[in-house]
Amino acid sequence: MKFRWSGATACDVETAAARLNDYFSAVGYRTLPPDLRWARGSLWKALLTMSPRQLPIIVEAKVQPWGAQTLVDVTFDFPRSVRALSEQDADLIVAELRGLTEYLQHGTADFEAMLRLERAAQRTARRALLNTLGLIVLMSLPLAWLFGQMQLPPLLASMLGGLVGGALASYLFWRLIRRR
């Protein structure tokens, strides 16, 4: 998935490039070799931490003079689909984009608000995960008992109960994580 933002700022090209570097460093990106390229996150970090800031993202920017202003074109690229984006993940991405425009214009941004959004998204994802694990246990035990009543071998009955309970709970997990 890609999305792009374009705008103009009232500073020169060098200042705009420096502000882009400073901003993306401040929100956790690392610089990539060609100028004005950044990346953050990884597949495993996103799955383990449940943090939207660990989703793998590559950002490229282009700056060019335009009269007394500088045109800035920024492209965000999500190269892999690690997990579905929740609304809170999207809220953080939008807040970071708003912060970028504020930082380009004035040299300041509300990094604390972005941190609060990240923590709220992590709490929601962890709460959904814990609820899902509880649902797996609550669904798997009765299903295993039911499969045992159908004269299935005990090991097969418990495995089927766990598989069916896990599949149902994983569906509910995505429903819970998308809920506000």
Query: Using one digit for the tens of pLDDT, what is the confidence trace for 118-156?
Result: 999 888 888 877 877 887 788 778 888 888 888 888 888
Neighbours of 176 (CB within 10 A): 19
Q: Report the side by side order of strands in the sheet with 37-40.
A: 2-9, 69-77, 57-66, 37-40, 30-31
* Domain-embedded: residue 149: yes
Q: Which of 39, 6, 9, 22 is nearest to 108 (CA)?
A: 22
Does residue 105 sit in the same domain as residue 141? no
* Domain-embedded: residue 114: no
* Domain-embedded: residue 116: no
Using only C-alpha atoms, what is the Rg of the chain? Answer: 22
Task: Give me the pLDDT at residue 84, please.
Answer: 67
* Mean pLDDT of all residues in 53-58: 88
Q: Return mean pLDDT, the chain.
A: 86
User: In which domain, by residue range, is 79 found?
Assistant: 2-109
Task: Give me the pLDDT at residue 87, please.
Answer: 80
- Give Cβ neighbours of residue 12 (< 8 Å, ≥ 6 apart): 65, 70
* Domain-embedded: residue 119: no
* Mean pLDDT of all residues in 10-37: 93
* Domain-embedded: residue 170: yes
* pLDDT confidence band for 178 (50 / 70 / 90): low
Does residue 9 sit in the same domain as residue 92? yes
Q: Return the top range by mean pLDDT from 44-53, 64-73, 131-140, 160-169.
A: 64-73
The reported pTM is 0.77
Percent share of the chain, pLDDT over 90:
42
The number of folded domains in the chain is 2
pLDDT at 81 over 70: no
Does residue 17 sit in the same domain as residue 103? yes
